[in-house]
Each structure stands twice: as C-alpha cells, then as structure tokens.
Amino acid sequence: MTILTLYKPGDTPIKLQVSDGTYTLGSDLNCRIPLKEGAGVCPRHAILNINSGTYQIRDIGDGTAIFVNGEPIDRKADVFSTTPITLGQYTIVISDVPDEEENAPVEPPVVQEASPAMTQSFSPTVEPPPPQAPAASEPEAPAIELAQADDSHLLQMMRSIKAQIHAELIDRLDIKRLSASRVNPEELRQRARETLQAIINDVRNRLPEGIDPAILEQDILNEALGLGPLEDLLADDSVTEIMVNGPDKIFVERNGKLVLSNKTFMDAQSVMSVIERIVAPLGRRVDESQPYVDARLADGSRVNCVIHPLSLIGPCITIRKFAKRQLFDKDLINYGTLTEAMAEFLKVCVKVRKNIVVSGGTGSGKTTLLNVLSNYLPEGERILTIEDAAELRLNQPHLVRLEARPPNIEGRGAITIRDLVRNALRMRPDRIIVGECRGGEALDMLQAMNTGHDGSLTTVHANAPRDVIARLETMVLMSGMELPSRAIREQIASAIDIIVHESRLSDGSRKVTCISEVVGLEGNQITMQDIFEFKQTGISAQGKVIGHYRATGAVPTFFTDLAARGITLDPAIFQP
C-alpha cells in the first residue's frame, strides 16, 4: 500500500491511499491531486509516477521550483520512500506501509531546507486510476507506466497514456523553446514527429490492446502543435459547428442536429493551449482580465472562447465552420434555402445598388448568404469590408478588408467597427460591407448609405423583418446621439431598401423565410411590403419541415425603373 501524506504548516496532515499510476498535481481542478491556487502553485505543477515501490516526480510548471529533500530538481528526479517533496508550501511524503500501520499517527517530515510560505489549503479530491501492471525495465525508455485495460477503462487509460507521452515529448524536444526561437513550423512539426515516433517505439510492446500506435501518435502531435482533438473534427466536412464544453465534452453539429462526439482533451490546460494557438497569431489575448475573445481560424471559421472565471465548467470553445469551397446561389437553391426567382430578384437588387440588410438569429446562415450576395458585386467597383473578426470571402479584385482590434493588456488601443466605418468613408469606397451591426456603428452605417454609398450590405440579429427596424433604432441610440425617434426612422426608411430574413428551422435546415421591401415612412411608422415568403405547412414523420415558397403578389416600387437601367426582370416571378 502506498500512502501520500500532505503537510501544510498550521493544518492537520492529510493522508491519501493511492495505487500505481500517474498523478498530476496543481491548482487546476482537473488535476488528479488538485491543490487550491496559492503562492508558487501552478495550474499543472508536477506529475508523480508511482510504479511498484518506485517513484518519479516531474516538473511541468512554469513557476516555483520543486525541491526533493531540500534540493531543487532539474525537470525530473527519482524519489525514495519517506523523502520529502516540496511544491510551494506543500510538503509531500511518499511511504510504503503495511496495512496494519494505515492508522498510525502522522509525524511531520524533517526537511533539510525550509520551503516558501504557503497560504492555501489542500482539497483532497482523488479518483484512483484503474489498476496498472508494472512496466518492463528498459534503460532508455521513458518513465511511462502502461497496462492492459478493458473496454470500460480504455478511454481513461488512453488519456493517461497520452498525458505521459505528451509530457515526455515536451521534456525531450523542449517545444516552447523551439517555438520561441521561431523555428520553421514545418521543421518543428517534423522534429516533433520523429521524437514522438521514438517515444512510442520504446513503449509499443506495452500499449493496451485496442490502442493504435499510429492514431496515438497523430493525437499527441495534434495536442502538441495543432488544435488537438479538434483537428479531426475540422477536417470532417459533415461537421458544421464544434462546441467544447470543458476538456471532457465536445459536441458537434451534423445535419443541423447536436451530438456528443467521442473526442476529449487530456485536461483543461490542453484546451487553454489550443485557445492560445488560435488567438496568438491574430494579436489577441485571453486571460483572467479578458476572459473571452472572438477570433477566427486560417480558413475564416469563426471562433469564440470563454475561460475561467466566466466559465464554471472549464475553458469553452465554439467554432462555426465555413465550407471549404465557396458557395454560390445555385448551392443555396439546391439546399432549399431559397428559390431561383428569389435569387434572381436579389441579384437585380445588388446590381441596381439597393441597400440590403440580411437578418436572422444565431446560426441561421446570415454570413453565408452575405457571401453569396457579394458574388453579384461588379468587379470594377472598390469594395470595403469591415468586420469584428474577418469571415467574409470575396473574390473581387479591388477589395480592401478591415478588421477591428481589441484593447491591449492596458485597456488601450481598441479600434471598433464604428471607428472603421467612419474611416471607410475617407477611403473612396463604392460599396461598404459591414459583417454585422451590433452597436453604435449602425448610425454611421445609415449615414454612409444616405450619403452616396448605396448598394451597401450588412447583417443584423433579429427575429423578423419588422424587428430589424426596432433593432436599428435601438442601435442608433447606443451611439450616444440623442436623436428623436422620427429622425431615426427617417434615416432608416431612406437608407434601407431590402431586408432578407433567414431562419434556422426546427429540423436544422436554413431558409430565407421572407424578403421585404422598405417602402417609406407614413406618419411615424415605417411601411414595408413582403415580396417573397416561406410558408410552413407541417412536419413530416421524419421530423422534416414541410412548406413552400411563394410570391405575395407585391411588386417592388423600383420595378418600373429597371428598364431605364437596362435590366430586364420577368414580372411573372412576383405573381402568387
């Protein structure tokens, strides 16, 4: 029987009975032996390997050094029974004692050198691992304890093995130093792969049945240099959204439905490492002072991250994937998002420079539709896109892309979308495309639309076309300008021509449910007319939404002006 005794000055010593295995110590709650955050204690401070009476401590933190019998260790050290180990203020003694001595009184250890002051208490929450067999004696092999596992413990065993091999890879390769020295990413990945293959070859004969060494190698390589288990999900075309709820749960969206995947992270620190790899290239940060961030991947996929103290379940990541190939109107027609008549009408609206607002709820496909509408923009015009995190993918040759900037660590230097909209007016744009209006920039956007920059596009969160008007009024008031309600509505009625509303239905499908024209202002009310709409008539036995698109019979007020512009549009598409 192995006993771990933890001492803290002024507190009663705590005894823990443990079996052979690997134990992570630190202030992170996901550590197998969690220590409350305090002086000199890192989130993941050390790894303790216990194997049939032999012990090894490994330093994986970036803070206070670890002392064994009063001497600082260099990364890792073997530990003998009754030898005190010091982590910050915590002193740990390992002992092999007979069963009859389990209740013997605990005596404080004699440490040759005093340890630093401690302020936090220990939370003894330990989940014993499944039994592990002793590893074979190999002088050159890493100190990784492997054993056979049944199906019920295979996932837990896999995570334990990955954690040990990952720690050995970092120890041998020193990835942080290589990354800081700006080694070529391809060279770094190749060196990591070669080192990882050598480590796995050392322990290949001791891997539990059911664990493929090739898959294990790829998973650990992704954890060390990529996005961990997210790499496979990002490569899966059937996955449209990825939601990480802490290290143990990764949900994905397939065919409009949310399902729990079989992927997990090793621990919360692995999730944090992935978040850092996402936001660091963009010059953004996420920490306790800024515990949430919007970012994007290299392919333009949208990313949102939330960490402690806002998230109580561990670091959370939400990724809205974009299709690998650019979508066009024919693709949306094939998906049933809209009809050929609706696509033709929207194409004409873009050509005659109508100001268009795409509205809808979260995940309804607003940005995708905005990308499709941008395909109709003439190549000879100067186009400016303004976004919080760059997501739009336009192919026009004369394109300027602007992206907002968050504040630095001192809370300074922020450049908002509103700042960019105002600056865009000085850049001689023919069209301005704002990825999303969500605040005071709505006033500047309306001003731009009303001052010669017609043909602009933007998106707004709203439940219906009529709600877009109310949302715009609210956002204008958020600009800090105390304008009367009628003046705001006059601006909206003059600036906005077409509202395209898209919805995500109960079966996960996305459809353009309404295309409305803003007709004008009557009294204090903005008048609108629906031109096309989607009517839901029921739900099939398979849960699919049943319905049809139809024209309402209303003809847009600018239809008679199309001939003067040399554009022909069949009036039959407006017939019910």
Phi/psi at 336 (5° precision): 85, 15
Check residue 149 and give its pLDDT. Answer: 39
Q: In 3D, which of 73, 106, 104 has the Cα closest to residue 87? A: 73
Give dist(CA 463, CA 473) in Å, integer: 15
Neighbour count for residue 487 (Cβ, 10 Å): 11
- Exposure of 314 by Cβ count < 10 A (0-12 exposed, 13-18 middle, 19+ buried)? buried
According to DSSP, residue 42 is labeled: -
Check residue 523 and give its pLDDT. Answer: 85
Give dist(CA 558, CA 536) in Å, integer: 29
What is the residue-averaged pLDDT of the chain?
Answer: 80
Kindly give, in sequence order, each residue whose CB lies less than 8 Å from that of residue 196, ignoring residues fewer than 6 positions away. 165, 169, 217, 220, 221, 224
- The two structure tokens encoding residue 416: 């908002």
Q: Which of 240-244, 412-416, 512-516 has the lowest mean pLDDT?
A: 412-416
**More reliable by pLDDT, 566 or 156:** 566
For the ranges 14-28, 160-174, 348-362, the maximum mean pLDDT occurs at: 348-362
User: Residue 429: what residue type?
Assistant: P
**What is the rounded average pLDDT of the residues 169-178?**
65
Check residue 38 and give its pLDDT. Answer: 63
List 384's β-bridge partners, or say none.
400, 432
Do the Cβ atoms of 433 and 384 come closer than 8 Å?
yes
Query: End-to-end alpha-carbon separation of the chain, Å?
Result: 82
User: Residue 248: what residue type?
Assistant: D
Name the H helices within 174-209.
175-180, 185-203
264 has a pLDDT exceeding 50: yes
Question: What is each CA distance from 470 to 327, 434, 493, in whole angstroms?
Answer: 31, 19, 12
Kindly give, in sequence order, each residue whose CB lies less than 8 Å from that of residue 529, ignoring residues fewer than 6 positions away. 516, 517, 519, 552, 554
Dihedral angle, C-alpha 411, 412, 414, 418, nearest 10 °: 100
Check residue 209 and give its pLDDT. Answer: 67
Give dist(CA 392, CA 412) in Å, integer: 27
Q: Render the burial of 514-530: b for 16+ CB within 10 Å, e for the rest.
A: bbbbbeeeeeeebebeb
At residue 78, the 3 state secondary structure works out as strand
Check residue 316 and give its pLDDT. Answer: 94
For the ranges 145-149, 224-228, 327-331, 345-349, the maximum mean pLDDT occurs at: 345-349
Neighbour count for residue 352 (Cβ, 10 Å): 16
- The two structure tokens encoding residue 165: 């091999």
Give dist(CA 415, CA 407) in Å, integer: 8
Check residue 157 and give its pLDDT. Answer: 67
Domains in the chain, ordered, with CATH?
A: 2-101 (2.60.200.20), 151-225 (no CATH), 230-320 (3.30.450.370), 329-537+550-574 (3.40.50.300)
Confidence of residue 221 (pLDDT cuts 50, 70, 90): confident
Confidence of residue 36 (pLDDT cuts 50, 70, 90): low
Report how many helices (DSSP H) and strands (DSSP E) the chain contains, helices first: 13, 26
Check residue 112 and give its pLDDT. Answer: 42
Give dist(CA 448, CA 433) in Å, integer: 11
**What is the rounded average pLDDT of the residues 233-253?**
90
Check residue 102 and give its pLDDT. Answer: 47
Q: Find tokens 């692995």 and name the residue.
A: 270
Give dist(CA 35, CA 120) in Å, integer: 8
Q: Which of 34-38, 71-75, 483-487, 551-555 has the lowest mean pLDDT?
A: 34-38
Question: What is each CA distance from 265 to 152, 311, 427, 468, 514, in whole angstroms?
Answer: 18, 17, 46, 41, 42
Check residue 183 and give its pLDDT. Answer: 61
Neighbour count for residue 31 (Cβ, 10 Å): 22
Largest CA distance in the chain: 101
Confidence of residue 178 (pLDDT cuts 50, 70, 90): low
Confidence of residue 204 (pLDDT cuts 50, 70, 90): confident
**Sheet containing 510-522: which strands, arranged edge to edge?**
399-403, 383-387, 431-434, 457-461, 356-360, 498-504, 510-522, 525-539, 545-551
Check residue 409 and give its pLDDT. Answer: 67
Check residue 111 and give its pLDDT. Answer: 46
Confidence of residue 250 (pLDDT cuts 50, 70, 90): very high
**More reliable by pLDDT, 166 or 304:** 304
- C-alpha angle with apex 263: 258 to 266, nearest 5 degrees? 135
According to DSSP, residue 542 is labeled: T
Pairing outcome for strands 257-260 and 250-254:
antiparallel
Confidence of residue 97 (pLDDT cuts 50, 70, 90): low
pLDDT for 405-431, tens place per residue?
877 767 778 888 888 988 888 898 888
pLDDT for 134-165, tens place per residue?
444 443 445 444 443 344 455 666 667 777 77
234 has a pLDDT exceeding 60: yes
Give dist(CA 139, CA 201) in Å, integer: 14
pLDDT for 379-407, tens place per residue?
888 999 998 877 788 878 889 999 888 77
**Sheet containing 84-87: which strands, arranged edge to edge?**
14-18, 2-7, 90-96, 84-87, 66-68, 71-72
**What is the rounded average pLDDT of the residues 14-38?**
78
- C-alpha angle with apex 106: 104 to 110, nearest 5 degrees? 135
Check residue 343 and give its pLDDT. Answer: 93
